[in-house]
Amino acid sequence: MSKKTVLEVNDLSTHYMTSKGDVRGLDDASFEIKRGEALGLAGESGCGKSTLAFSLLKMVQPPGKIVKGTIDLDGIEVTKLTEKQARKKIRWNKISMVFQGAMDILTPVYTVGQQMKEPLKYHKGIEGKEAREICVEYLDLVDLDAELFDRYPHELSGGQKQRVIIATALLMEPDVVILDEPTTALDVVVEARIMNDLKRLKKELDNSSIFITHDLSILAEVSDKLAIMYAGWIIEIGSALDIYHDPKHPYTEKLMAAIPTLHEDIDRLEYIPGAPPDLIRPPSGCRFHPRCHKAFDKCREEVPADRMVDGVRVKCHLYPED
Ligand code: SF4
């Protein structure tokens, strides 16, 4: 039986209005996530990954604004919600986020437990002993002892703090959890433990997740589906396995070639020359054309439409349009 779609995004665009012009942080993003599915979002810094995440939570701050598109989160149209409605209806209980550098967001003057209990009280009116029991259950889920509930953040290691944040994000059993660079600040041993925890939790809880990282080797571990972003566009999206084994977009090809491997004798790692474009005045036609090794005349003139190639959606003139 096919699984239910929990999140459907169509033509979503989010821009930042500045005195120099509109920064096109995200343009025409479309995708869906089914229950239990993990979507990996990858691309260079500034490609729109975090803008997309903040848009899904309706948390884009001025001068940023969702200018177009729809976000259907389990039947709720997120773009139409006021700030108060978004806080009450979707954040934490329908969609939650582990922010970049999340371990630094714990307030030093409150215990772990005081901070974890907040969303339970706000959304479900659960307090006292019952709230404690639920929090301890989720601490256990991320492999942390119950005694951490009464500790202050400075008494925890970086990995423990990160797991507290992950436990808190799961506490309200949201349909979708967004993890923005969940292991970036951690050493490789702690990173591996947390990634194993996340893989186990995905099986146990059957929730949907969005992993954001520029580290493609991490996404290979956890994603069912992969979306590659460049300059505010999703330029390739499809099954993670298909994209790993046979990337279609020239940008994805180069990204994959830049992953170091232990087993192959490589003299030199691949890299992509140049820098991401200015998103106030992005390049004409395909935004990747100034850096693309396969660019031809049409790429400089026409914005490529999305097309399906072997089950993967690709934004590139190299392939025939549907
Ligand atoms: Fe390269 Fe052209 Fe494809 Fe853009 S549309 S990725 S410039 S080949």
Q: Find out whether the beta carbon of 289 lies less than 6 Å from any atom of ligand 1.
A: yes
Please name which of 1, 63, 37, 307 lies closest in space to residue 176, comparing C-alpha atoms: 37
Q: Find out whether the beta carbon of 294 lies less than 6 Å from any atom of ligand 1.
A: yes
Low-confidence ranges of the chain (pLDDT < 50): none
b/e burial code for range 243-263 (CB count within 10 A of at least 16 → b): bbeebbbbbbbbbbeeeeeee
pLDDT at 5: 95
Look up residue 151 and give its two tokens.
Answer: 């500790």
pLDDT at 21: 96
Structural domains in the chain, sorted by start: 5-94+174-315 (3.40.50.300)
Q: Output the CA 212–ligand 1 centroid distance in Å.
A: 24
Which helix (H) or strand (E) is 161 found in, with range? helix 158-170
pLDDT at 59: 95
Length of the chain: 322
Q: Whose CA is nearest to atom 3 of ligand 1?
A: 316
Please name which of 295, 316, 298 lies closest in space to residue 236, comparing C-alpha atoms: 316
Residues forming a β-bridge with 202 = none
Which ligand 1 atom is at minimum distance from the Cα of 249?
A: 6
Encoded amino acid at 191, one letter: E
pTM of the model: 0.92
227/222 Cα distance (integer angstroms): 13
Q: Find out whether the beta carbon of 230 lies less than 6 Å from any atom of ligand 1.
A: no
Say which DSSP state 51 is in: H
What digits encode the pLDDT tens for the residues 67-121?
999 999 999 999 999 999 999 999 988 999 998 776 678 999 999 999 999 999 9
pLDDT at 102: 67
pLDDT at 57: 96
